Amino acid sequence: MAAKFGFACTIYMGAEDVHRQRPNVFWMEKLGATVVPVTTGSKTLKDAINEAFRDWVSNMDTTHYVMGTVCGPHPFPEMVAWFQSIIGKEARQQILKSFGRLPARVYACVGGGSNAMGIFQGFLDEKDVELIGVEAGGKGIATGKHAVRLAAQDASPGVAQGYKTMFLQDSDGQMLDTHSVAAGLDYVGVSPILTDLWERGRVRFEAATDQEVMAALDLTIKKEGIIPALESTHAFVQAFKEAGSLSPDQAIIINQSGRGDKDIFTIAHAFADPSWKAFIREKGAEYAAY
């Protein structure tokens, strides 16, 4: 957007995420953005949001704050939800056209919740369409290394980053570190709009572990010939778990919020791919020789 309109653009990104999502950083820089790695706190999304706020309050006269997800102070959650609603509108039209009826279920991964809010808005008023948000189970809920705010009991109500929702926090109200193989789901809070939909029973929440995600990714690549992002693959995990309970005349939608290209380093590492590793070593040696 900034490149298209000729705006100067600064992106705050957790230092850990800069490392994990290096291809995204490369493309953002190519598009003309300045990417600032944030080294405070957990060095992930939450800390990047804090730094973006600090920049914004310092440069309010000349700068717009663009929130990457359906969180933050009013009116950002509603703004982002509205921008993302195009996904649900189009998905609804497309499934009616290709399948002739509404889906039985819609699955979406939930970090902050923007892709989920986007697609769910196409079906919110349809009582027969079940909406399922899938959070990052990380290394498993029992380990505490996860980002499950709604699908388990670990989170509690809190107020931070300008909004009230369920946060992963300790009994003093200090935010906890989260973990996920998918940088985009590795966040302590969740959209207050989704929390409301969850409280009212409109959206069901589930969690997928890192390990389940890698298995589902492998399956999706081999059987469907597509490469979903690690974030999106969380939605695939849950859909695969539940697909067996559908009748042949029912359909589901899985929201593929992004492509896995950006995750090539993480995915290749997780699959311990020997030829990829050899290639990286070779490239490393090539650059080291300059």
Ligand X SMILES: Cc1ncc(COP(=O)(O)O)c(C=O)c1O
Tell me which of another protein, ligand X, none is bound by residue 69, counting a contact when its beta carbon lies within the kind-specific cut-off of 5 to 8 angstroms.
ligand X
**Size of the chain, expressed as the number of residues it contains:** 290
Under the binding rule (CB under 6 A), the answer on residue 158 touching ligand X is: no
- Among 22, 35, 37, 50, the residue binding another protein under the rule CB under 8 A is 50
Q: What minimum distance in Å lies between the beta carbon of 38 and another protein?
A: 11
Q: Based on the shown chain and the rule CB under 8 A, indicate whether residue 245 belongs to the binding site for another protein.
A: no
Residues 160-199, buried b or exposed e (16+ Cβ, 10 A)? bbebebbbbbeeeeebeebbbbbbbbbbbbbbbbbbebbe
Tell me which of 129, 134, 160, 229 binds ligand X, using CB under 6 A: 229
> Could you give the string, one character per residue 139-178, with x where binding to another protein holds by CB under 8 A and - elsewhere?
-----------------xxxxxxx----x-x-xxxxx---
| Backbone φ/ψ region at 244: left (φ over 0), alpha (ψ -120 to 50), beta | alpha
Which of another protein, ligand X, none interacts with 231 (beta carbon under 5 to 8 A by kind)? ligand X
Map the footprint of ligand X across residues 60-79, applying CB under 6 A: 69
- Cβ neighbours for 36, distance < 8 A, ≥ 6 positions apart: 10, 11, 12, 13, 51
184 binds, among another protein, ligand X, none (CB under 5 to 8 A by kind): ligand X
Side-chain half-sphere CA neighbours of 36 within 13 A = 14
- Judged by CB under 8 A, the residue of 29, 31, 34, 54 near another protein is 54
Size of the site for another protein (CB under 8 A): 25
- How many whole angstroms separate alpha carbon 167 and alpha carbon 154? 9
Which is closer to another protein, CB of 21 or CB of 165? 165
Choose, by CB under 8 A, the member of 5, 6, 61, 153 that binds another protein: 61
Query: For ligand X, which is the closer residue by CB, 169 or 256?
Result: 256
Which does residue 46 bind out of ligand X, another protein, none, counting CB within 5 to 8 angstroms by kind?
another protein
Interface with another protein, residue 53, by CB under 8 A: yes
Question: Does residue 185 interact with ligand X by CB under 6 A?
Answer: yes
Question: Interface with ligand X by CB under 6 A: which residues?
Answer: 69, 109-116, 184-185, 229, 231-232, 257-258
